[in-house]
Structure 1
């Protein structure tokens, strides 16, 4: 069995955030934090002890790309979760891993493993 990861969830829809928390736990990992707005997400990305992050692209009308920038600078792998697919990504992140909403446990598992987390 692989080691449990500390995963940051950045998601502004409460029902999806709760679903993600359940999925992370079902996969044997720990939820290191949940951020629903950009300022909180940036703070957690800068300071939290995390191994991986799941980033909703659109946080209440604000893009999560600054959070991705902080994580990339720290060497923390992440995946974007979006209903828009790759079309919703900033060109600088065109090669970043993406899981499309709605997603399932298998796609989340693949994203975590595929990102080298």
Structure 2
């Protein structure tokens, strides 16, 4: 559903990553920004978030987890809680684009 909305809004979607390994491979493709669900099967996306932050790629968590569930190092990251509507997703994307332009990864 999210990929469909993103495409409709004019974004290019590199794909979906069901595992940390796939997500890490996708980072090598040089995304402009990333949306991460915290739970990837039996893994969490925290190593992916760490790598995105290291590379200066803005990202946000899009998840059913709450902010209190995040490790302290991600306490200030953008988070969009499920369920959400298209308007909320567009607002998040606007914030991520702004972070990309200003160089504040992990916004």
Task: Confirm or deny a common fold (TM above 0.5).
Answer: yes
Judge conservation of contact 1:55–1:78 (CA < 8 Å) in 2.
yes
Corresponding position of 1:51 = 32
Q: How many angstroms does 1:50 deviate by?
A: 0.8
Whole-Å separation in 1 of the counterparts to 2:19 and 2:85: 23
Whole-Å separation in 2 of the counterparts to 1:91 and 1:61: 21
1:85 is the counterpart of 2:66: yes
What do the CA deviations read for 1:50-109 (whole angstroms, capped 9, x no partner)? 101000011112111110111111111011011122022111100000000112111111
Of the three residues 2, 20, 25, the one matched with 1:38 is 20
Whole-Å separation in 2 of the counterparts to 1:88 and 1:61: 16
Corresponding position of 1:11 = none
1:26 is the counterpart of 2:8: yes
Q: Aligned pairs, how many?
A: 98
Q: How many angstroms does 1:48 deviate by?
A: 1.1
* Cα root mean square deviation, aligned: 1.2
Stretches of structure 2 that go unaligned for 5 or more consecutive residues are 101-107
1:48 aligned counterpart, secondary structure: coil
TM-score by length of 1: 0.78
Q: How many angstroms does 1:36 deviate by?
A: 1.0
Structure 1 segments (4+ residues) deviating >3 Å = none
TM-score by length of 2: 0.85
